[in-house]
Amino acid sequence: MPETSHPRQKLVVLISGNGSNLQAILDACAGRALAAQVVAVISNKIDAYGLERARRAGIPAIYHPKPKDQDRRAYDAGLAQVVSAYRPDWVVLAGWMRVLSAEFLNHFPNRVINLHPALPGMFPGTHAIQRAFEAYQRGEIEFTGVMVHLVPDEGVDVGPVLLQATAPIHVHDTLETLEDRIHAIEHRLLVQALALVTQTAKTKS
Ligand code: GRF
C-alpha cells in the first residue's frame, strides 16, 4: 500500500530536558524510518533544550509549567487539554520527569508511551541509571537495560512493556560511560517501539 494511503500517525512528545530521545524520533521521522509525525513538543521546563530542538524542526514547542500553588491533578487536566488540541494518536513521554495522574491519562487511554532507562521491575522512578550503576558496584546486578512501556494508570514505570533491551555494565565503566551506552540504546529502542505501534495501528485501521 503506498505511503500516501495512510496519513502519518500523530505524536505529541513530552520532555523535561535535553531531548536527545525527542531528537531520535525527529530524525527517524525525517529519514522515513518512522511513519509518524511529531505535531507538538511540550515541556514543563523553560530551559529544556528539547524545546529548541522542536523549534529548529519547525514544530510547536510549548512551555507548560506547573504553577507552585496549582494542585498536580489540576495541572494534569490542563496539560491534557493542551495535548488533546493536537489530536495525537500517541503521547510519548521522552525524558518527561513528572508522574502523570489519571486526570491526564484518562484522556489518552492506551495511547501514552513512556521510556525508562531500566528493565521492568528494576529501579522505577528517577536516577535509574545511577541506581543501577551503584547496584552493580555492590555486586547486586550484572547488567541493566531500557524499556518502553504503556502508561495505563498512575503506576510509575510499571506499565505493559512494548520493548526492552539489556545494557551491559563493564567493570571499568564510569556513570558517564554507562549513561552514554544507555542513551544510545534508548534512542534506538524508542524509535523501534514507535515504529511497532504506528505500524500495528495502521494495519488495524
Ligand atoms: C533519559 O535517560 C530518559 O529516559 C530520562 O531522562 C534521560 C534524558 O533524556 N527520563 P533526553 O535526553 O531528555 O531525551
C-beta separation of 156 from 131 below 8 A: no
Q: What are phi and psi of 184, to 5 degrees?
A: -65, -40
What one-character-per-residue DSSP string does 98-151 give?
Answer: S---HHHHTTSTT-EEEEESS-TTSS-SSSHHHHHHHHHHTTS-SEEEEEEEE-
- Tens digits of pLDDT across the chain (205 residues): 555 567 899 999 999 999 999 999 999 999 989 999 999 999 999 999 999 999 999 999 999 999 999 999 999 999 999 999 999 999 999 999 999 999 999 999 999 999 999 999 999 999 999 999 999 999 999 999 999 999 999 999 899 999 999 999 999 999 999 999 999 999 999 999 999 999 866 666 5
Considering the four listed CATH numbers 3.50.50.60, 3.40.50.170, 3.40.1360.10, 3.30.9.10, the one that applies to the domain covering 8-204 is: 3.40.50.170
**pLDDT value at residue 197:** 96
Which grid cell is 172?
A: 571499568
Taking the CA of residue 48 as reference, the ligand 1 atom at the shortest distance is: 13
Compute, in angstroms, the gap from residue 19 CA to the centroid of ligand 1. Answer: 7
Nearest CA to ligand 1 atom 3: 95
Numbers of helices and strands, H then E, in the chain = 6, 7
Residue nearest to ligand 1 atom 12, measured at CA: 20
Look at residue 172 in the predicted model and tell me its pLDDT: 97
Virtual torsion, Cα 17, 21, 25, 30, nearest 10 deg: 80
24: Cβ below 6 Å to ligand 1?
no
- Residue 157 has, within 13 A of its CA and on its CB side, a CA count of 22
pTM over 0.85: yes
Point out the ligand 1 atom lying closest to the alpha carbon of residue 24. 14
Q: Is the CB of 159 within 6 Å of ligand 1?
A: no
Tell me whether residue 116 is one of the annotated catalytic residues.
yes
Of 6, 64, 107, 116, which residue is the catalytic one?
Answer: 116
User: Structural domain boundaries of the chain?
Assistant: 8-204
